[in-house]
A = this chain, B = another copy of it.
Amino acid sequence: MSNLKIQITPSENKKEKLSADQLVFGRTFTDHMFIADYTEGIGWHDHRIVPYQPITLDPSATILHYGQTVFEGMKAYLSKDGIIRLFRPEENMKRMNHSCDRLSMPKINEEDALEALKQLIEIDKEWIPKEPGTSLYIRPFMIATEPHLGVSASLTYSFIIIMSPVGSYYKEGIHPVKILVESEYVRAVAGGTGTAKTAGNYASSLKAQEVADREGYSQVLWLDGIERKYIEEVGSMNVFFKISGEVVTPALNGSILDGITRKSIIQLLKHWGVPVNERKVSMEEIREAYLNGKLDEAFGTGTAAVISPIGELRWKGELFYVNNGETGEVSKKLYDALTGIQKGNIEDPFGWVVEVNV
């Protein structure tokens, strides 16, 4: 149980809320935000909930030059019975601390962070959209704020939580996307920052995404940075394939993000008795499985879309139409199960869901 004391300054000017169909991911924010500051030698202090407002940084702040920052992405869901649910939030806080360690940043108190988040949600609960498929996207992040151009870990930080109501990812029901296998750019390599949720991994990806956009693909599939053979992730998601009845996904190898949706899917599949295997997966294996008619399904997994079926893969000029461009059976079943648990519409046999307002 957290004993956290949070100073609350309510917003005097409540913003107007958009209807669910007007919401664009990450552009509208709620009325409040949470902030705590860290000072080397003192620790975390001044935990507060304040009106959503700009951040003021010295132009020499470490975050602006050396990218010392980590973040998380999670969602709160409101069900018809008025209960607000978080999906495995402890896992996000735990991963944030893993990221902090890689970036030489101070750890947060995971219980305190969850308590702060619950209080923030409670204050801004009117912002959670109610329509099917909608949710409140939550972005906890930490930035290095010391005004100092030396290349060394900052002595001061801010931990901030902002929240953004998001519309349905699939406006017309779950449907497959087109993915471009990336041959030029690399996301991360073992020994780098690939397992951390940190800015540099995303900065590095923008150029590849630009090319994918131009060629009509929604995201890229990253190959390993060493042999350029093995599959790592899709865009900002983990990736799974169903080959000859078995579900496979790249093993956590030191350059892949340990996705919370990924690990939940593995648990769900095992619970259902579906064979699932974490191992090296090469593009050549995917190509052969496709040509032999054994590539049943492919899908990305992440907080934003939950499950994103892959209908087309392009690799070195070859096109693979997975499951005739249709959403596969396992993809659909996983999507329904996970979103059902998240929304409280079906039973949660794993204790994944944390209710906020009880």
Seen from chain A, the residues whose Cβ lies within 8 Å of a Cβ on chain B are 24-27, 29, 33, 52-61, 63-69, 71, 102-104, 137, 139, 141, 143, 147-153, 160, 162, 164, 184-193, 198-207, 209-210, 225-226, 228, 235-236
Of the A-B pairs whose beta carbons lie under 8 Å apart in the complex, a sample of 30, sorted by A's number, is: A25-B149, A26-B60, A26-B148, A52-B59, A54-B56, A54-B57, A54-B58, A54-B59, A55-B59, A55-B64, A60-B139, A63-B199, A64-B199, A66-B202, A66-B203, A67-B203, A68-B203, A103-B207, A104-B207, A139-B149, A151-B205, A151-B209, A186-B191, A189-B189, A191-B228, A193-B204, A199-B199, A200-B201, A225-B226, A226-B226
Which of chain B's residues have a CB closer than 8 A to the CB of A236? Answer: 151
Min distance, Cβ A210 to any Cβ of chain B, angstroms: 5
In angstroms, Cα B150 to Cα A203, docked, is 12
Given A149-B25, A184-B191, A209-B151, decide whether A65 and B204 contact each other with a Cβ distance below 8 A: no
Which of chain B's residues have a CB closer than 8 A to the CB of A69? Answer: 64-65, 67, 203
Candidates B63, B64, B68, B71; contact of A206 at CB < 8 Å: B68
Min distance, Cβ A251 to any Cβ of chain B, angstroms: 19
Which of chain B's residues have a CB closer than 8 A to the CB of A153? Answer: 206, 210
In angstroms, Cα B71 to Cα A147, docked, is 16
Which of chain B's residues have a CB closer than 8 A to the CB of A61? Answer: 55
Candidates B55, B207, B209, B228; contact of A57 at CB < 8 Å: B55
The answer to whether B149 touches A66 (Cβ under 8 A) is no
In angstroms, Cα B196 to Cα A185, docked, is 13
User: In the complex, which of the residues A27, A149, A210 has the most CB atoms of chain B within 10 Å of its own CB atom?
Assistant: A149
Which of chain B's residues have a CB closer than 8 A to the CB of A152? Answer: 206, 209
Number of copies of chain A assembled together:
2
Residue of B nearest to A71 (CB): B65
Given A65-B141, A186-B192, decide whether A204 and B210 contact each other with a Cβ distance below 8 A: no
Given A59-B33, A191-B185, decide whether A103 and B203 contact each other with a Cβ distance below 8 A: yes
Which of chain B's residues have a CB closer than 8 A to the CB of A26? Answer: 60, 148-150
Which of chain B's residues have a CB closer than 8 A to the CB of A162? Answer: 59-60
The answer to whether A203 touches B198 (Cβ under 8 A) is yes
Residue of B nearest to A188 (CB): B192
Residue of B nearest to A207 (CB): B104
Which of chain B's residues have a CB closer than 8 A to the CB of A203? Answer: 66-69, 103, 193, 198-200
The answer to whether B66 touches A104 (Cβ under 8 A) is no
Min distance, Cβ A106 to any Cβ of chain B, angstroms: 13
The answer to whether B225 touches A192 (Cβ under 8 A) is yes
Min distance, Cβ A330 to any Cβ of chain B, angstroms: 26
In angstroms, Cα B68 to Cα A161, docked, is 20
Which of chain B's residues have a CB closer than 8 A to the CB of A24? Answer: 150
